[in-house]
Structure 1
Amino acid sequence: MASSTHCFLLFCFSSLFLCSTSTFPVLGFRTNFALFPVAKDAATLQYVARISHGTPLRPADLVLDLGGSFLWMDCDSGHVSSSSRLIPSCSVNCSRARFHDDLGSKGCVLNTDCFVFPNNGVVGLASVGELVEDTLAVDSVDRLKVGEIPTVDHFLFSCAPTFQLQGLASGAKGMVGLGKASISLPSQLSSSIGHPQKFSLCLSPSNGVVLTGNGDAVFGTKTTRSLTYTPLVIKQNDYFIHVQSIKINGRRVSFRGEAKLEAKLSTVVPYTKMESSIFAMFSKAYVEAAAGLNMTRVATVAPFGLCFSWEGAGNSVPEIELVLQSEMVKWRIQGRNSMVKVSGESKCVGVLDGGPEQSSPIVIGGLQMEDKLLEFDIGSSMLGFSSSLLQKETTCSSPLQDSKLKQFI
């Protein structure tokens, strides 16, 4: 795993307030934003963050799951925390944690512990885990001045059995859920710190970030105020957008029925996937556009279905556009976000055939989200997205090169 994953959860504080007694306490601080760096694992193409938790503090690498309900980890990996506490079944925290499972107080049994259902979104493996709360390290820019790492209590997450780690990046001890569930990472920070119900995601082949609260100080107002917005549909904990049509080099791809296409956004899928009938029409149109650019098709390399020679058109490749609510609102997939180099001679389109049974017509994968700033505004059900930051001569890694922030990479 890239060494850049070795970083703590980073928070920038504007003011502090005393932590009052609450039925759902998480953090005892008020901040403008909460941010933690994310690195891409080269072997699995998963996005991994590191946090520190427990007493004594120990780091844990966790895979990001955009549709995950909460943070879960293997608690039996040798680290015994003296501050960890099991949550009772008949408690407000248990009811809130289990609300997304439609259990709530229905599963309440006196004098028993609260159990939830951690899900490994990479391989689709679910299990039963205990709900716990523990200390979480909160690195702040202020630590650069005072030399201390503040910690907070009462952060809720789930323990999971070791077999739940199947398919995760080497060294990963669990996953961080970014879904709408009440104990997902963004939800807990919003409830405890007073942030709006939104978070920003900026992935990168190297160092990316996940941020809750106001992102202006990190990404700059020029970028955050230039975002394009489209309605965000939330089902369970997954995030979807509606796609009116697909264009390749400006030409519309025809599909049977011409129905509105639903696209799910996923950080656990490395490349965009399309249902087989949609991929077939997309593939045909892409090959025609590639021929117009003198690109030579070559033998496919798994898992890709469309591969071309590096020779011919050079760096010029067809542009893919997902047309959203109008012709004025488009998600553009260009250059590095569309092609994957598989050898010295071949490059392949990072769009795959997801099979005839794929639950969503389109799943937008990690590659197509890289070096775009995405703002998930859950409160207003809107998704804000930037054009490729590469066109602005910056990347999602750039905020971490700030003289203060880079010390946490």
Structure 2
Amino acid sequence: MLSFLQLIVTLLAFILSHKYEAIAEYVPPYSSLVVPITKHTDAATPLYSVQFETSWDITRSKIRRFLIDTDAPFIWNDCIVQWNIYPGSCPDNLLCVSPVSCEEYQCTQVRTSISFKNPSCQPETNSSTLPGWGYCTCPVNVVNPITGSCSQGLLNYEDLMLSTSNGMNPFDGIYDVTINGACAPSSSFESFPANVTGVLALSSSPYSFQSFFFQDQVMYRISLCLPSTTSTPGVLFYGNGPKYFKNVDVTSYLSYTPLLKHPDSFGYFIGVSSIVIKKRSIEVPMNTTTKLSTIEPYTTLRTDIYNQVIRRFSMVTKRFRTVKPIAPFGLCYKSYTNGTEYGLKVPDIDFGLENGKKWTVSTANSMKQVTKDVVCLAFVDGGATSEHGIVIGTFQFEDNFVSFDLKNSTFGFSSSLLSKQISCANFNFTTIASN
């Protein structure tokens, strides 16, 4: 017969084992997290941002816009660190967050894990402190993704909030994430669109935003659909599960190709072996890197590749009247004659991928209306010595649904949704009650 003590121990073990089983089996009522994407045209080139609710003064919160950057190693924004935050201690026009000490492991980990150093950045030191703090702060370098300029921010603890979703609508539930980001001075945001005061790290870095999520189902897949207009938002998803636009699960349109690593970048790369225009293949030299960018506005090709594309595209569009190119483009056409639109429909451009799949760039993503009368091929000459042979820019992403599977290192792409009578503006942001 078990002693009374043995009986208690056995009972506790039984309860605890079932408790952890219940935790392991818990399935939340949402399949993804969702954030609207806004297109901005008030900067030098089109850029895209998301908005989060951020903690402010402990008891209050504020909406902030963050520029989407697939290269940034961590989130940073316009804020100040304050060691003793209490209601009323932070000015209304500022965001105050808690500092990370240089003696905390996060400081060392962020600095050592972010090994890709920009030569324009100053060395990081542990010499600064906050009044009344008593500990050294943790300066970290931040790089403006538009200008390339470097400045120093202070590592912080910060809360960001976003909506949960079933893939069809946002729920009224909030997903609260505590991150290690950085507060940077206002001067760091030169050339940003109006009211965009932060950078969202959408990269593969160990300190990107999704690395702070606490559930596997939303940590390892990032999907985005960039809008083609400023009037209606596109959408960013974190997580698995279906994604519905006009009651159609757009994940069913995805084809996949491997994501490739680059030794000096947290960005995303794929293998492109050819560019095909009207059944004629332009071979891409071996070892050519193809980068995916949310900052570059148009697809950039190294000069040797660019010249072949321009030559071939000119041949298959001879029936259209060319005009003097408008920078930064090298091939432009007249789109109106005597007030009548041509209805310019050009052949598709296919990126032939290394695994045999193809990413089709149709007219909506290849031709840019530059003036009322002129439309241009939205591919740019990147120069003879550009670091990457191909950089696929945001114009080619618009109204395409794409997905980064970080667990399986694959990139999913739909090609243009417009051919399905769907656009990135078709996600329904009407909030519904969660279960």
Cα separation, 2, equivalents of 1:197 and 1:98: 23
Describe the shift of the 1:93–1:254 C-alpha distance in structure 2 as closer, same or farther (beyond 3 A). closer
CA RMSD in angstroms, aligned pairs only: 2.8
* 2:199 pairs with 1:200: no
Secondary structure in 1 matching 2:395: helix
Cα separation, 1, equivalents of 2:361 and 2:329: 17
Cα separation, 2, equivalents of 1:283 and 1:75: 46
Give the C-alpha shift of residue 398 in structure 1: 0.8
Matches within 5 A, 1:5-404: 31-44=30-43, 45-55=46-56, 56-75=60-79, 79-81=93-95, 84-102=97-115, 111-140=135-164, 152=176, 154-189=178-213, 191=214, 195-206=218-229, 207-218=233-244, 222-235=249-262, 236-253=265-282, 258-291=285-318, 294-310=319-335, 314-326=343-355, 328-399=356-427, 401=428, 403-404=430-431
Residue identity matched to 2:267: D
TM-score for the superposition, normalised by structure 1? 0.81
Partner of 1:11: none
Q: C-alpha offsets along residues 133-191 of structure 1, whole Å, 9 cap, x if unaligned?
A: 1232344579xxxx9885736332111122211111122112111011122122222x4
Give the C-alpha shift of residue 354 in structure 1: 1.3
Secondary structure in 2 matching 1:373: strand
Cα separation, 1, equivalents of 2:143 and 2:268: 17
Secondary structure in 1 matching 2:289: strand
Cα separation, 1, equivalents of 2:346 and 2:182: 45
Residue identity matched to 1:97: V
Q: Which runs of 5+ in 2 are unaligned?
A: 1-27, 81-90, 117-123, 128-133
Contact 1:137/1:149 (<8 A) preserved: no
Cα separation, 2, equivalents of 1:279 and 1:298: 19
Describe the shift of the 1:317–1:159 C-alpha distance in structure 2 as closer, same or farther (beyond 3 A). same
Cα separation, 2, equivalents of 1:182 and 1:196: 11
Cα separation, 1, equivalents of 2:177 and 2:221: 23
Pair member with larger Rg: 2
Secondary structure in 2 matching 1:95: helix
Cα separation, 2, equivalents of 1:97 and 1:51: 23
Cα separation, 2, equivalents of 1:30 and 1:195: 13
Describe the shift of the 1:156–1:196 C-alpha distance in structure 2 as closer, same or farther (beyond 3 A). closer
Describe the shift of the 1:81–1:388 C-alpha distance in structure 2 as closer, same or farther (beyond 3 A). closer
Cα separation, 1, equivalents of 2:401 and 2:388: 23
Q: C-alpha offsets along residues 183-223 of structure 1, whole Å, 9 cap, x if unaligned?
A: 2122222x456534221111111311111112414457742
Q: Which range moved further: 217-226 or 173-182?
A: 217-226
Give the C-alpha shift of residue 237 in structure 1: 0.8
Describe the shift of the 1:368–1:296 C-alpha distance in structure 2 as closer, same or farther (beyond 3 A). same
Give the C-alpha shift of residue 97 in structure 1: 2.5
Describe the shift of the 1:148–1:377 C-alpha distance in structure 2 as closer, same or farther (beyond 3 A). closer
Q: Which runs of 5+ in 1 are unaligned?
A: 1-28
Residue identity matched to 1:392: K
Secondary structure in 1 matching 2:253: coil
Q: C-alpha offsets along residues 329-355 of structure 1, whole Å, 9 cap, x if unaligned?
A: 111111110111112221001101112
Describe the shift of the 1:272–1:242 C-alpha distance in structure 2 as closer, same or farther (beyond 3 A). same
Residue identity matched to 2:227: S
Contact 2:34/2:162 (<8 A) preserved: no
Contact 1:30/1:193 (<8 A) preserved: no
Give the C-alpha shift of residue 260 in structure 1: 4.8
Contact 2:126/2:137 (<8 A) preserved: no
Give the C-alpha shift of residue 78 in structure 1: 6.2
Q: Which range moved further: 106-115 or 305-314?
A: 106-115
Secondary structure in 2 matching 1:195: helix
Cα separation, 2, equivalents of 1:176 and 1:30: 26
Task: Count residues with an aligned counterpart.
Answer: 363
